[in-house]
Amino acid sequence: MDHFKLVSDYQPTGDQPEAIEKLVEGLQKGYHEQALLGVTGSGKTFTMANVIARMNKPTLVLAHNKVLAAQLCNEFREFFPENAVEFFVSYYDYYQPESYIPTTDTYIEKDSSVNDEIDRLRHSATSALSERRDIIIVASVSCIYSMGDPIDYRNMVLSLRPGMEKSRDDVLKKLTEIQYSRNDIEFARNTFRVRGDVVEVFTSYSKETVIRIEFFGDEIDRISEINYVTGELKAVLNHIAIYPASHYIVPEVKMGKGSASITTWKCSWNAASAPASKTIPACCRGGNPARLPLLLSIIFPTTFFSLWTSRTSACRRCAPCTPATTPARKTLSTTASVCPRLTTTVRCNSTNSTP
């Protein structure tokens, strides 16, 4: 689908039509920052859903905690049931960093617990972002942390079609390269199993379905989607793209170059220069130091817009954002030189607006 389709029994009322028009107008004029003010229950999410449908661009929604992100994701899924609405937050249920307590000479080892379901949702978000334009990703601040290279992630996708000349062994080798593991007994996410000329893949972003690839000699005969528990056939596919099982995938060529660079630097190192030289060469810092960190926003297309949610003032040093009055908006306007983030402010606080 190439456009957003908003599904709702309500129509914008009260201050919502004016807010929608002003926000859309600001985006069309190229405003980089705008603020939508509104009390609880005034319909801010519904207002922004209308803006998303009008602008028809991939959207990144940032929330300040996981609970609010999950709530927004469910609301947007109700508004856009035919479009892709994905969830991207930190997959750690528990994280204990490595630490040392000198007073008691105690060393605390690093420990963590990864939520498998959230990890699946993260992979679902990045894979959908690579395939679709009608996508909304609701994320926490986890999206500002570094990920793997999106170019490597896309280049290592395994693309298959019926009738393609590709042997079973070549497919198995490629699955191993993108960090899928073979497990014929305990079939779970990020694994594949082989039964004669049939290969079944449980992708990193799938919940209940697996991909079944049937071969006839060195040719792919059929690709289907089945329920991994009941074996029920859900769909016969004309094409399938299997994305890597990890966001931090590295091609073998790039890994070889990195290893060679480190080996070269180690060979040039000697004990005499070790105390004097404390600068780590670029080859050991991971390549070009001027390169931007690889974030979720880098995977988005060139043109997209993001929504930032907050329960408090966007910038307390300018003016309180709770009263959406004319004097307040004038105050924000006059202090734009101090805080240029707030360039346009519209209100949505009508008691008659859609919940």
Phi, psi of 279 (to 5 degrees): -85, 125
Structure confidence by residue, pLDDT tens digits, 310-337: 654 444 333 333 333 333 333 222 222 2
* Per-residue pLDDT, 296: 65
- 80, 6 Cβ separation under 8 angstroms: yes
Structure confidence by residue, pLDDT tens digits, 91-123: 888 888 899 889 999 999 988 888 899 999 999
Compute the distance between CA of residue 222 and CA of residue 241 in angstroms, rounded to an integer.
14
Please state which of the ranges 15-24, 79-88, 333-342 shows the lowest mean pLDDT. Answer: 333-342
Compute the distance between CA of residue 3 and CA of residue 11 in angstroms, rounded to an integer.
19
Full-model pTM: 0.75
Coil, helix or strand at residue 58:
coil
Compute the distance between CA of residue 206 and CA of residue 7 in angstroms, rounded to an integer.
26
- Where is pLDDT greater, at 280 or 180? 180
Phi, psi of 64 (to 5 degrees): -85, -5
Closest CA to 74 of 91, 61, 64: 61
Query: Residues near 48 by Cβ (< 8 Å), separated by ≥ 6?
Result: 23, 36, 307
User: Tokens representing 22?
Assistant: 């002003």
Mean pLDDT of 147-168: 89
